[in-house]
Structure 1
Amino acid sequence: MLLMRLGQGREAEVFAWADGYVLKLFWPEFSQEDAELEARLTQQVWLLGVPSPRVEDVLEFEGRWGLVLEWIRGVPLTEYIQANPDRLRFAAQMLGALHRQLHSKAAGHLPSQRLHLIQRIQACRLPEAQREALLQHLEQLPDGSVLCHGDFHPENVLLGEQGVFVVDWPNVTRGNPMADIARTTLLMLYSELPHDLPAREEIMHQRQYFYQTYLEHYQNFSGLDMAQLRAWMPIVAAARLRENIPHEEPRLMRLIQEGLQERSA
């Protein structure tokens, strides 16, 4: 059976499936259990009333596991910007408002953000003393109970005729919104943007402006404690370290060291 591929990422490829649906087909290293877990999480998010795809099925296709999802007919914000770079400011404002909308949702029985971060810190390649310092620092930060995407950035936001939707929910948790914003901060300001990312040059050239516009628009809907945001940065940097992206490691190590130094000052 020949499928039309719509896109791909680090975890999966996305194909047109049946009328109104897509197949998110995971790479072979992902198991049935992985697919079923993401299906449950994505469906819980949809049931909360979040603008996100509905899950139709979990299936095996040519030896790989995948999710059949409602087809959200739209383009990522990066492609929206690429089509007209003058849209960059509006896209950043939209991102801030949408992130605040997610954080207005109580997260019910979704997994614990704190436990997720602890597990990643414990598994990352850092000296034991540094891991312990990070875990002690995490203990001092407040917990939360709101919906946190865990990987919120322009590629995971689709804009189409029916509005704005958020996709890719495998890292969704119940937690503190400041930690979720810190993760987005890390991705927007410090991550290595893929060379084939639409609008890469525009975003690289204006990434600080894009980030500040996103943050200011979030603040229009909700006050932000910038000291708390800075306090979460070494935690999310250590969790990102667990993802084993070699060219990002020097920047992540610097964020971890600076964050711990600020805490002990």
Structure 2
Amino acid sequence: MQGSLGEKIGEGAYSEAYAWAPEQVVKLFKPGVSRWMPWFEVRMLRAVLAAGVPVPEVFGEVTLDGRFGIVLQRLDGPTLLQLTRTGGVTFEEAGAIVAALAMSIHKTPLPPEVLSMREYMEAELGHDDGKLPKHIATEILALIDRLPPGDGLCHTDLSPGNVIMTAEGPRLVDWSGARRGPVALELGFLHIILSELGPEIADNPERPRATNAAAQSEYARLAGMSPADLTAAMEPYLPIVRTFVVLGNVVPSLRERLIQRIEAALRLED
């Protein structure tokens, strides 16, 4: 596609974002990332945009120096994370935005390419290089088989850093981890990201925790259920979420601690 690599404007665990052309950016995946990830994200973005989910438009795909990239609509505005840091929004306001997005996503028709949490887990375990003890892998698959599978769409990374606040409203980016599952799985990912991973890297550990508490409370209100019932529904999925985090090597320094929490939760399930 017509364009050229400009200034770097962002970076995630698996990709970097650069200016590309007027009103466009390129999301360039890091060396070693499977070609499946950008292929899947392109299809997800196009499907959910057509269903009315607020996401950037996809203009095409490129390959630069052997790296795969997606050319996207450039979204102008701060992330919700930046606004919580500066006080531009309160934790309650941030939580309400995240909860509304979660509710909207789970009502979105499921694109056919989306894997179930079991299919996704099997794929991740197939590429495991010793990060996870084998007995945990066996028990996690058994736990997934015991739980209601759910057939809703889950983004799985509804963190404020993936919500860009444009003049037209919030826009949600980073769809490479989407999968099929119950809303309890989505909220479980949000809980782990904001209450266990986020505090490890935040300048103020209470900020992500407060955002998570507000989002969970608001989702319970929107769903017409008590916060206690929502927590109870989410709890069995937390060891599954932690397993995905370990396999993804998202925060390597937390690996041992997360494995201990997975094992403790699995013992409670017995």
TM-score, scaled to structure 2? 0.87
**Could you list the runs of 5+ residues in structure 2 that have no partner in the other structure?**
none
State the alpha-carbon separation in 2 of the partners of residues 2 and 135 from structure 1.
Answer: 42
Which residue in the other structure is 2:54 paired with?
A: 51
Amino acid at match of 1:91: A
**Following the alignment from structure 2 to structure 1, what is the Cα–Cα distance between the partners of residues 240 and 66?**
37
Superposition pairs of residues 160-239 of structure 1, within 5 angstroms: 160-192=166-198, 195=201, 200-202=202-204, 204-222=205-223, 223=225, 225-239=230-244
Structure 1 residue aligned with 2:264: 258
Query: For 1:159, what is the secondary structure of its paired residue?
Result: strand
**How far off its partner does 1:121 sit?**
4.6
What is the distance in 1 between the residues matched to 2:203 and 2:135?
39
Equivalence for 2:245: 240
Aligned match of 1:152: 158
One-letter identity of the residue aligned with 1:161: A
User: How far apart, in 1, do the equivalents of 2:160 and 2:184 lie?
Assistant: 18
CA distance in 1, matches of 2:158, 2:172: 8
Counterpart contact for 2:190–2:212, Cα < 8 Å: no
Deviation at 1:194, TM superposition (A): 7.0
Residues 236 and 131 (structure 1 numbering): CA distance in 2 closer, same or farther, change over 3 Å? same
Bigger shift: residues 102-111 or 113-122: 113-122
Q: Which moved more, 1:83-92 or 1:19-28?
A: 83-92
Among residues 115, 120, 130, which one is paired with 1:116 in the alignment? 120
TM-score by length of 1: 0.89
Choose which of 137, 142, 146 in structure 1 pairs with 2:143.
Answer: 137
Residue identity opposite 1:116 in structure 2: Y
Match of 1:11 among 14, 17, 38: 14
Q: Distance in 2 between matches of 1:149 and 1:228?
A: 18
In the aligned structure 1, how far is the partner of 2:255 from the partner of 2:218? 30
2:26 is equivalent to residue 23 of structure 1:
yes
For the residues of structure 2 that align with 1:214 and 1:239, how far apart are their CA atoms? 22
Aligned pairs, how many?
Answer: 259
Q: Following TM superposition, by how much is the alpha carbon of 1:141 offset from its aligned partner in structure 2, in angstroms?
A: 0.6
Structure 1, 11-20 or 158-167: larger mean CA deviation: 11-20
Report the Cα distance in structure 2 between the residues aligned to 1:130 and 1:30, rounded to whole angstroms: 25
Aligned counterparts of 1:127 and 1:3: Cα–Cα separation in 2 = 43
TM-aligned CA deviation for residue 185 of structure 1: 0.8
For structure 1, the 5+ residue unaligned runs are none
- RMSD of the TM alignment (CA)? 2.1
SS at match of 1:90: helix
For residues 188-233 of structure 1, the C-alpha deviation after alignment (integer angstroms, 9 at most, x for no partner) is 11115575xxxx334x134433221110011111135422211001
